[in-house]
Amino acid sequence: MKKQVRIFLAFSILFMVVGLLDGVFRLMARESITTSVFTGIYGFHPLLVVFGFIAVIIMTERVASLTTLESISAGRRSMLSLMVPFTVLGTILVTTGISLSSVLLSYSGVLFLLLGSTLFIATLKLLSGLSNMKTSFRFMILSGIDLWTTELLSPVFGVTYPVGYDMLLLSFPVIFIIGERIELTRFISQGYSENRFKTSLALYAMSTALFMLSLPFSMVEYRYMLVAAGIILMAIGTASVYVTERRNLNILSRSAMPLQRYVSMHTRIAYAWLFLGLILSLIYLLSFGSVDTHDVFIHAIAVGFVLTMILAHGPIIMPTVAGRRLKTDRFSPVPLLLLTAGNAVRVGGGAAQLFVSIPINSILVGLSGWPVFAALIIFMLEVMMKSEKSVRNGAKDTVKGQTDNRS
């Protein structure tokens, strides 16, 4: 099983590289920086990143957690672990089918994707039944429903997405990460508030429902107002979670353990990006698209929040998933600096383009994807170099030894 998990992890990293490079070259082409690389798959950047990279790495983490539970039979673990190959195959088939305008390939891919996400949701329900932290798993299950919905509709929209579909794509990793943060908060928080988190869950569920309800509307005004209402609910739910998070982050920022300070700093920055992205999305929606902050709000959330949180949790989660343990709890701030700087240029420069056209700004925005790509590559290499084979019980030993750092 451990070898299988490493193969799954390799697939997620492969999708990360392809998906991010696709986005980098697409951005360069959009800003008229001549490139002919990946031109045929520019439109698949969101699907490659969300389905291929983020979904696969999250599912791989859950498969790894199953290996530590002796109460689950080997046969059941093997069946549930099929969610990863189903998702990998489905992503390849859907993107190929849309590219070739093949209905057969597209919907064959959808079938595999739905099988993968159904097994993912089943795994979360199983793990929830074995845990006393039900609320965090309910967040994750809700994120799985978002994923299932976007997979089902992926051939319908092709490579041109309505804003409600954009928000569903973003909601999958955002809500899952919030669920993980709640899970980690429970381990260390004296201010843990179950009722507050349940309220946030209800708000997120309503926001998901509004995003879904917006999809059939052809009138822009109705569609945008429904999505705006969903984003307002999401912002209130996130703020409620962050109130509890902030207390813990204040404590962790003064911790004697470097890794806890590292996680605290990354988490604060990630939340700042999320709130900025939600504000920018409301500007776009309430102006009915006349103030075109669409691209900047998407990347404030997708890169600023989601990828920064991957940097935050990765030093613990990735070695654990691979059955390894950390040799050190000190990690470089360079990936965070590169990712934040690159995304600040993308978001800030993109916003500036709404008011003034300056050639150098366009060039900087067009090249801003490279620091983000470099940040993820440097981060992955650093995690690999600073982890080693667990000498006793693989992932089980790693989880036990590192739980205190997951905060």
- The CA distance from 170 to 277, in Å, is 11
Mean pLDDT of 50-54: 96
pLDDT at 407: 46
Sequence spans of domains, the chain? 1-130
Using alpha carbons, select from 68, 208, 204 the residue that is nearest to residue 135. Answer: 204
111-153 residue pLDDT tens = 999 999 999 999 999 998 887 778 899 999 999 999 999 999 9
- The CA distance from 108 to 270, in Å, is 36
Provide the pLDDT confidence category of residue 70 given band limits of 50, 70 and 90.
confident
- The CA distance from 394 to 389, in Å, is 7
pLDDT at 192: 58
pLDDT at 287: 95
287-328 residue pLDDT tens = 999 999 999 999 999 999 999 999 998 888 877 777 777 777
Mean pLDDT of 269-297: 96
8 Å CB contact between 61 and 317: yes
111-122 residue pLDDT tens = 999 999 999 999
| C-beta atoms surrounding 250 within 10 Å | 11
Using alpha carbons, select from 13, 96, 33, 45 the residue that is nearest to residue 298. Answer: 45
Structure tokens at 204: 């997120």
Residues contacting 106, CB < 8 A, separation 6+: 93, 94, 97, 98, 154, 155
Mean pLDDT of 268-285: 97
8 Å CB contact between 318 and 286: no
Provide the pLDDT confidence category of residue 188 given band limits of 50, 70 and 90.
low
pLDDT at 390: 59
Which uninterrupted H or E stretch holds 389?
Answer: strand 387-389
- Least-confidence region, from 59-63, 66-70, 86-90, 175-179: 66-70
pLDDT at 158: 75
- Least-confidence region, from 158-162, 344-348, 379-383: 158-162
CA contacts within 13 A on the Cβ side of 224: 14
SS3 state at 54 = helix
| pLDDT of 395 above 50 | no
| pLDDT of 397 above 60 | no
- Least-confidence region, from 144-148, 182-186, 347-351: 182-186
% of the chain residues with pLDDT over 90? 62
- The CA distance from 217 to 222, in Å, is 7
Q: What's the pTM value of the predicted model, to 2 decimals?
A: 0.91
DSSP string for 292-339? --HHHHHHIIIIIIIIHHHHHHHHHHHHHHTTEEES-S---SHHHHHH
- The CA distance from 379 to 57, in Å, is 15
